[in-house]
Amino acid sequence: MDVTLAIDAMGGDHGIAVTLPAAVEYLKKHPRDTIILVGNTDAIVTGLSALGVDASGGVFGDRLRLHFASQVVDMDEPPQSALRGKKDSSMRVAINLVKNGEASACVSAGNTGALMATARYVLKTIPGIDRPAIASYLPTKKGQVCMLDLGANTDCTSEHLLQFAMMGATLVTVLEHKPNPTVGLLNIGSEDIKGNEVVKETSRLLRESDLNFYGNVEGNDIFNGVTDLVVCDGFVGNVALKTAEGVAKMMGGFLKEGFRQNLYTKFAAMVSMPVLKAFKHRLDHRRYNGASFLGLKGIVVKSHGSADAFAFGCAIEKAAEEARAGMWQQISVHVEKWHNERQNTQSGASSCIPE
């Protein structure tokens, strides 16, 4: 299936210095797909020219298109300011292209809060989903794990967490071809008696659902790969994510510091280079770049604001993969099926009550 992707070319810490090389590289690897670069077209044309790409046709023909947007959302701009005051931002216009069907998905490295607020306003949420959630993958001892929510919702009810689990399970099923992925609920202990009332109620709802609920998982279980999916509220998820990123950077810094101490350690580094490269590749956060905004009637993927061209390219690949799979439609079907079954169960139970 061919896809058309709308790229917010101006978003992120580095803007076109990152988004353009990533887009060009993607088109080289996917000769049937199309990319629409949204933003200041003069700046985009100049940037493409520096890469040896003719924006008026050239080697990509009509597979590389430009769409003008007069505004840019700042990285520290309040979401409501961006939503109300920048209706012609590169971010907003890219999402509009998804809304009107001109693009299959949108990718942006811009302000996360503004992107979520704008995407939710323009695309709306899937029926049966109260709030969108941010989902992404993390490396584990066994491969990778999908985790959500990673920052969109700091206060959640048990019903919200159940919806996150349904959306995340659909994502894992479709993208990883796992028909019945295991679902873990992040908690302060594995026992059923642990956690606050919201977590306890969520555990009950998950057990009653059609999901393959493993049970409670702790923080260390995330990276042991105990489950295919880990569910939590956005406050906990974001703290866990940033903590993991910080630990990974610290470990990398310790390794570099240790190998640079003297001639002997530098020689040891040279001997260990194949192992170190494999280690770096396995934990390279850039390979996991690209967080999915699940629960919207459209596909939006958020790249890290400081991403380089390789990392941003990974986010584009993720958006294309979700578009090919019809991700939001698959989530909609799952949610609708679950709600129908829930209503039938409740009506059946009420009919058994004697008058």
Distance CA 257, CA 252 (A): 9
Q: What is the CATH number of domain 130-293?
A: 3.40.718.10
Under the banding of pLDDT at 50, 70 and 90, the label for residue 69 is very high
Contact, 12 vs 305, CB < 8 A? Answer: yes
- And the tokens for 264? 């002997």
Phi, psi of 30 (to 5 degrees): -130, 85
pTM value surpassing 0.85: yes
Q: Average of pLDDT values for 282-288? A: 81
Asked which of 109-123, 212-226, 234-248 is least confident by mean pLDDT, the reply is: 234-248
Quote the pLDDT of residue 244: 87
Summary mean pLDDT of the chain:
92
How far is residue 264 CA from its own chain's centroid?
43
Q: Is residue 288 predicted with pLDDT exceeding 60?
A: yes
Q: Give the residue range(s) of CATH 3.40.718.10 domains in the chain.
A: 130-293
Under the banding of pLDDT at 50, 70 and 90, the label for residue 91 is very high
Q: pLDDT tens across 322-344, in order?
A: 999 999 999 999 888 887 877 77
Distance CA 117, CA 87 (A): 12
Q: Average of pLDDT values for 217-243? A: 94
Q: Average of pLDDT values for 71-95? A: 95
Distance CA 283, CA 137 (A): 12
Under the banding of pLDDT at 50, 70 and 90, the label for residue 347 is low
Q: Smallest Cα–Cα separation from 115: which of 322, 335, 319, 334?
A: 319
Q: Average of pLDDT values for 162-191? A: 94
Q: Give the residue range(s) of CATH 3.40.50.10950 domains in the chain.
A: 1-129+295-355
Q: Smallest Cα–Cα separation from 108: which of 86, 87, 93, 128?
A: 93
Helix (H, G, I), strand (E, B) or coil at 96: helix
Quote the pLDDT of residue 350: 53
Q: Is residue 353 predicted with pLDDT exceeding 60?
A: no
Q: Say if strands 229-231 and 64-68 run parallel, antiparallel, or are unpaired.
A: unpaired
Class of domain 1-129+295-355: alpha beta
- And the tokens for 230? 């880990």
Distance CA 64, CA 55 (A): 7
Under the banding of pLDDT at 50, 70 and 90, the label for residue 59 is confident
